[in-house]
Structure 1
């Protein structure tokens, strides 16, 4: 994931450990905050101007992989789930490549 530029998620993904780790790798952190406070509203407006609107593409891909590979997505911790999802995407891409060959 050397070319990872941004992480888009909703508030369920947010915690200070994650923010710190992502900031350490110089990755843009696009997390949509819940609530109607001034800070949340301002942050959400800035995020929408950036790349948060592209999140639906990742959600669609994740949903497809989850439907086809559900048994592999059983980890309890998000970082382990992330590793499994990356592996599943790699396998899916290899399967598509093998079909074309």
Structure 2
């Protein structure tokens, strides 16, 4: 399958009106992606891959509290994969996206029923 870093810009474009910042890992560290986010008024919280000392400086300036929200999302993703399965059965991108939304909805409903 294709690397999912190509999907990041598509999802950001689709939700550009709702986003104020976007946290992602180093796999989404493309200058074009960062520039596109900034043009849409979205603050990129994406760590730089470490190739030179300037990249270390960029990472040190990042707001760690906001970037930490990404790790909370990763925890939820991990929980969804463990409870509902990691694989999606759909073949097209749109149907895969819809299936992931349904899995997230089921996860939220299960949490609501468990913790009233």
> Structure 1, unaligned stretches of length 5 or more?
none
**Root mean square deviation, CA, Å:** 3.5
Using a 3 Å threshold, how does the CA distance of structure 1 residues 21 and 53 change in structure 2: closer, same or farther?
same
> Structure 2, unaligned stretches of length 5 or more?
1-14
For the residues of structure 1 that align with 2:97 and 2:37, how far apart are their CA atoms?
Answer: 14
* Corresponding pairs, count: 100
Normalised to the residue count of structure 2, the TM-score between the two structures is 0.58
Larger RCO (CA under 8 A, 6+ residues apart): 1
Pair 1:90-2:102 in alignment: no
**Contact (CA 8 Å) 2:25, 2:46: kept in 1 or not?**
yes
Pair 1:46-2:52 in alignment: no
In the other structure, the counterpart of 1:63 is 78
Using a 3 Å threshold, how does the CA distance of structure 1 residues 17 and 37 change in structure 2: closer, same or farther?
closer
